[in-house]
Chain A
Amino acid sequence: MSTSDTIFRPYSSSESLRSDRSAGDRQRHREKVLESIRDNISDLIAEEAIIGQSSDRIIKIPIRSIREYRFIYGKNSPGVGAGDGNTEEGQVVGRARGQEPGPGPAGNQPGIDYYETDVTLDELINIMFEDLALPDLEQKRLRQVLSERTFKRRGYRQVGVHAHLDKKRSARARVRRKMASKRVAVERSDGRFPFHQDDLKYRHRVPDMKPSSNAVVICIMDTSGSMDTMKKYLARSFFFLLHRFVCTRYQNVDLVFIAHHTQAREVTEEEFFHKGESGGTMISSGYNKALEVIRDRYHPDHWNIYAFHCSDGDNFESDNEATLRAADQLCEVCNLFGYGEIKPYTLHYESSLIEVFENIEAPNYQAVMIKRKEDVWPSFRALLRRERLPETTTTDTSA
């Protein structure tokens, strides 16, 4: 037995001596988790739960933890457990791997470790939209929209928070005071000439609004009878993303909602997202309504106009020509005209507007096909990333 004295290191209550050593590694781990959320985001937003929710809602996302892979034994590896003495052969003691976590000796089973991360819908949406922007936003006259809220410097103050202290100016002020006081002041015994409160200069900042261009986003949705629940759901998901995107990234963008069957009318956001209608389909009506709104309120010289339309493309044959004409006109006045065709089933042939629209030559027309929930997000991205990917003109994300 060793005779040397046991050492006790007392607890230090001082924060500075107790470094949070794992902070860096936790941070890096968190980054990796967010990366994995980013990678799986289309799955996450395909979950119905998040669509149409308020933005401060906290979403619990079960995340399969970032796995550390090693060579391990698989399913046919037997194990030993302790029983209560009444265990019998053939008794089921747990679920096999890949089903549910079951009992197993430590270290043998990989385990499916999920843990939950709290993310608010806003955070999630920030991750989703971080590299997207309304394409081709142009400078227009009579700018109103404030896109960025930053601060800029304006002058100096005697008071302020320490972070804004201007060291150079403060030092200069001290020197100045020193020179000025040379003749009158009695020198301190230690020869020092310390800073005085009056020497300190703080940078002053004022909020800075950066005006960017006016913009309006026109959402046109087909609410006809052929749009069944599934199709409506897909369309609404698309517009929900669009709505959230515009609200998140731009301070003051106008949104116009238009619902149409054979007739079109402007509706409120609430109605747009929550009401269903029925009837035949005359898509030109929706477009003409949009054109009418643009004529009345959003002059293309003053406004950046974005029009998005979701429909199943099942238009009255006779209306196609009028629709094409209206679409051409829309392309003329809009910065971007996006068309999303919703075709959840490919069993039987349905008329498709994408084919009709193939004749549109305007470079600012773009079409996407949405077949499943999982397509909504990629199509959405495809529409809004156009500026960055000029070579993609028509993106069929179902491929």
Chain B
Amino acid sequence: MSTELDIAELREWDERIKEKAGGFGLECYPQEYEICDHFQMLSYMAYSGMPSHYPHWSYGKSYEKLKTTYDHGISGLPYEMVINSCPCIAYLMRDNSLALSVLTMAHVYGHNDFFKNNFNFAQTRAEWTVSTFKLHAERIRSYVEDPSIGRNEVESVLDAAHALSLQLNRNRALRKRSPKEQISAAVERARPAKDAFQTIHKRHEEPAIDLNKFPLEPEADLLLFIRDNNRQLTDWQRDLLTVVHEEAEYFLPQIETKIMNEGWASFWHRTIMNSLELPQKLQLEFLVHHNQVVRPILGEINPYHLGLKIWDDIRRRFGETGGEAPATSEPPDFKARGKLFEVRETDRDTSFIRRFLSDELIEELGLFRYQARGKDEVVTHVANEDGYDMIRKTLIDNVGMGAVPVIKVEDADFGRNRTLYLKHYHDGRDLELDFAEKTLEHLFFLWGRPVVIETLMNNRGILLSFDEEGFDTKKHS
């Protein structure tokens, strides 16, 4: 541990890595490294790598948790911490060995390229990331320091907003319709289908449509909806909701591409490291670390492992070897590279798995599907003819935002008393009731009027509500 990183040496390695990465066709933001000790690293991790971030106790909690696991040696610190910004900022730990630092740098260039080119990240405005987060922090600090607001008030709004921050529109490529367009779409939907024989048929009755219903179309951006439609909120409360929403939106692409992104970075760090002709000592150490990172974890999904396997498979299938597995120590050939770069641009985890996790790969990885039965989790499907589709589907449901229930605002004036009526779009998975109760309480706090959510529990319709009297459940047909 006595080794301290020599910046001149790192710079030399960086030049070589950058040259290789460029040679393979990676296209990156300018790179920036900060050398830090492990306390700083833990801090950066607690705040998602952001150099500046608004204060909230949950970050203190995640620091404590990280530190506990680190102190107990349960987890080593990750080799990389890199944020989607331009220039791309990454952190190197001063206690790490040279081989580990070089590996980290190669890995970071993979992420950097992914951030810059994957379509999910197109709207994150990477060049403004650091300053946006800093601005958010300054605004929130100013509310905390304002004697008429104070820490506790800010904290309770942030607590509630954090609980709902992932209830947002997940497909940002689809434009939200304006109120006018929503009205014409509703009229269009209500109109009967075109009838070729309308002259001889009895005329259809004009269907009644309620254009006063609000919102006309279900609304997924919960925080924004509350911000815009709860008139009781003060400006600073609205601003807090905006900040939390914007941060969630910023992190959304990273949630949606975890497997692809980690796989991509692992794929390229291996390729780059192998092409650097490392001295033997470094090469061996690199192999040890590499294998630690991309090893399968029994009973779980290691995104580094799964991602790398799929990228390798794409390279094999679309490369010049014609289905033969190429040597992983060689850089991918021209043909394979074309496909790899195309996929890294156009996919997210769900589509990546659907398109490229083949039956053979499921078999090779020994994936299985499990479900709770009584007190145990029991394997329901294994990698065979009957299981492939189910395994793939379940995996798709669990990656990225698939793990977050889809909940939308259906009616903001339910029962004509401004009750907020939400609907959970049930896909076979029930909500966790404890969590739903506490989250509804947060929602009630922000909305200021009763809130109701419609969902299924054990195949039966149920309404969960929260109002002045507290939590309640009711049957719903």
Which A residues are within 8 Å of any B CB, using their own CB? 1-2, 4-11, 18, 20-22, 24-32, 65-97, 99, 102-108, 110, 113, 115
A78 near B370: Cβ-Cβ < 8 Å:
yes
**Cβ B376 vs Cβ A29 within 8 A:** no
Q: Please report the C-alpha to C-alpha distance between residue A107 and residue B167 in the assembled complex, in whole angstroms.
A: 15
Q: How far is the CB of B143 from chain A (nearest CB, A)?
A: 15
Whole-angstrom distance between the Cβ of A115 and the nearest chain B Cβ: 6
A110, B46: Cα distance in complex, Å = 19
A-B contact pairs, 25 of them (CB 8 A): A8-B7, A8-B34, A18-B40, A20-B43, A22-B43, A26-B63, A29-B61, A66-B61, A72-B403, A76-B371, A77-B398, A77-B430, A78-B369, A78-B380, A79-B398, A82-B296, A82-B306, A82-B366, A83-B366, A87-B368, A92-B378, A93-B299, A93-B378, A95-B377, A104-B377
Asked if A83 contacts B298 (CB within 8 A), the reply is yes
Known: A71-B436, A79-B369, A81-B370. Contact between A7 and B377, CB under 8 A?
no
Summed over the interface, the residue pairs from A and B with CB atoms below 8 Å come to a total of 265
* Known contacts A8-B11, A80-B369; is-contact A105 B430 (Cβ 8 Å): no
Chain A positions within 8 Å of B299 at CB level: 81-83, 93-94, 103
- What's the nearest-Cβ distance from chain B to residue A88, in Å? 6
Question: In the complex where A22-B60, A25-B63, A89-B382 touch, is A68 in contact with B162 (Cβ < 8 A)?
Answer: yes
B377 to A93, Cβ gap below 8 A? yes
Chain A residues, Cβ within 8 Å of B21: 1
Chain A residues within 8 Å of B439, by CB: 69-71
The answer to whether B56 has its CB under 8 Å from any CB of chain A is yes
Is A70 a contact of B36 with CB atoms below 8 Å? no
User: What is the distance, in angstroms, from A70's C-beta to the closest C-beta of chain B?
Assistant: 5
Is the pair A9, B377 in contact by a Cβ cutoff of 8 Å?
no
For the complex, give the distance between the alpha carbons of A115 and B438 in Å.
Answer: 21
Q: Is B403 in contact with A82, judged by CB distance below 8 angstroms?
A: no
Inter-chain contacts of B60 with A (CB < 8 A)? 22, 24-30
Contact with A along B246-257 (1 / 0, CB 8 A): 000000000100
A86 to B376: give the CA distance in the assembly, Å: 19
Q: List the one stretch of B23-31, B223-231, B285-293 in contact with chain A.
A: B23-31
CB-CB under 8 A from A99, the residues of chain B are 375-376
Enumerate chain B residues within 8 angstroms of A96, measured Cβ to Cβ.
372-377
9 tightest CB-CB pairs across the interface, nearest first?
Answer: A1-B22, A25-B60, A103-B299, A29-B60, A69-B438, A96-B372, A26-B60, A83-B366, A74-B432
Instruction: Indicate with 1 or 0, residue by residue over B63-103, a CB within 8 angstroms of chain A CB atoms.
Output: 11100100000000000000000010000001000000000
Return chain B residues, CB-CB under 8 Å to A68: 58, 159, 162-163
Q: Mark B422-463, 1 if CB is under 8 A from A, else 0.
A: 001000111111011011001000000000000000000000
B32 at the interface (CB under 8 A from A): yes
- Please give the residue numbers on chain B whose beta carbons come within 8 Å of chain A beta carbons, in ascending order: 4-5, 7, 10-11, 14, 18, 21-22, 26-37, 39-40, 42-43, 46-47, 55-61, 63-65, 68, 87, 94, 151, 155, 159, 162-164, 166-167, 255, 296-303, 305-306, 365-383, 391, 394-395, 397-399, 403-405, 407, 424, 428-433, 435-436, 438-439, 442
> How far apart sit A66 and B163, CA to CA, in the bound complex (Å)?
13
A100 to chain B minimum Cβ distance, whole angstroms, is 9
How near does chain B come to A270, taking the closest CB pair, in angstroms? 39
Judge whether B379 and A89 touch: CB under 8 Å.
Answer: yes
Contact of B432 with A90 in the complex, beta carbons under 8 Å: no
Contact A6 B31 (CB under 8 A): yes
Does the CB pair A107–B31 fall under 8 Å? Answer: no
Given the complex, which residues of A lie within 8 Å of B368, measured CB to CB?
Answer: 80-81, 83, 87, 93
- Min CB distance, B48 to chain A, in Å? 12
Give Cα A8–Cα B35 distance, bound, in whole angstroms.
7
Could you tell me if B167 and A1 are in contact, using CB atoms closer than 8 angstroms? no
- Judged by DSSP, the binding face of A is loop
Tell me the bound Cα distance from A274 to B380 in angstroms: 57
> For residue B373, which residue of chain A has the nearest CB?
A96
Residues of the B chain whose Cβ atoms lie less than 8 Å from the Cβ of A24: 55, 60
Contacts of B297 in A (CB 8 A): 82
Does B432 lie within 8 Å of A91, measured CB to CB? no
A83 and B302 alpha carbons, distance in the complex (Å): 12
B366 and A87 within 8 A (CB): yes
- Of the candidates A30, A83, A92, A115, the one having the most CB atoms from chain B within 10 angstroms of its own CB is A83
**Given known contacts A89-B382, A94-B370, what 17 new A-B pairs fall within 8 Å (CB)?**
A2-B31, A6-B30, A6-B31, A9-B35, A24-B55, A24-B60, A25-B56, A26-B63, A32-B57, A72-B404, A73-B429, A77-B398, A79-B369, A80-B367, A80-B395, A82-B298, A107-B255
Check A94–B398 contact: CB distance below 8 A.
no
Could you tell me if B28 and A2 are in contact, using CB atoms closer than 8 angstroms?
A: yes
What's the Cα separation between A21 and B39 when bound, in Å? 10
Residues of B within 8 A of A21 (CB): 43, 47
Q: Which residues of A contact B26 (CB under 8 A)?
A: 1
Cβ-defined contact, B59 with A76, below 8 A? no
Q: Smallest distance from the beta carbon of B24 to chain A beta carbons, Å?
A: 10
Query: Given that A70-B166, A81-B299, A115-B65 are contacting pairs, would A9 and B31 also be in contact in the complex, using a CB cutoff of 8 Å?
Result: no
Task: List residues of chain A with CB within 8 A of the CB of B433.
Answer: 74
Contact among B65, B367, B399 for A83, CB-based, below 8 A: B367
Given known A25-B56, A76-B371, A80-B369, contact A105–B301 (CB-CB < 8 A) = yes
Assembled-state Cα–Cα distance A90/B358 (Å) = 24
Q: Which of B11, B37, B395, B398 has the most CB of A within 10 A?
A: B398
CB neighbours (8 Å) of B29 from chain A are 2
| A92: contacting residue among B11, B42, B58, B376, CB under 8 A | B376
Considering residues B64, B372, B374, which has the most beta carbons from chain A within 10 angstroms of its beta carbon?
B372
Contact indicator A102/B11 (Cβ below 8 Å)? no
Q: Cβ of B40: which chain A residues have Cβ within 8 Å of it?
A: 18
* Measured CA separation A21–B54 after assembly (Å): 10
What residues of A have a CB within 8 angstroms of the CB of B68 in the complex?
A: 115
> Does the CB pair B35–A10 fall under 8 Å?
yes
Q: What chain A residues lie within 8 Å of B63 (beta carbons)?
A: 22, 25-26
User: A1-B22, A32-B57 known; A71 and B167 CB under 8 Å?
Assistant: yes
Distance in angstroms from A370 CB to nearest chain B CB is 30
Quick one: given A82-B299, A88-B379, are A76 and B429 in contact (CB under 8 Å)? yes
User: CB-CB < 8 A to A94: which residues of B?
Assistant: 299, 370, 376-377
Q: How far does the Cβ of B181 sit from chain A's closest Cβ, in whole Å?
A: 29
Quote the shortest CB–CB distance from B25 to chain A (angstroms).
9
Q: Chain B residues near A115 (CB, 8 Å)? A: 64-65, 68
B403 touches A73 (CB 8 A): yes
A106 touches B301 (CB 8 A): yes
Select B27's contact among A1, A6, A22, A72, beta carbons within 8 Å: A1
Q: Measured between alpha carbons, how far is A30 from B381 in the docked complex, in Å?
A: 44
With A6-B32, A69-B439 already in contact, the answer to whether A79 and B381 are too (CB < 8 A) is no
Verify B11–A107 contact, CB threshold 8 A.
no
Query: Taking A11-B36, A30-B60, A94-B370 as contacts, is the C-beta distance between A80 and B394 under 8 angstroms?
Result: yes
- By the criterion CB–CB under 8 Å, are A70 and B59 in contact? no
- Counting chain B CB atoms within 10 Å of each CB, the highest count among A21, A28, A79, A90 belongs to A79
Q: In whole angstroms, how far apart are the Cα atoms of A93 and B424 in the complex?
A: 30
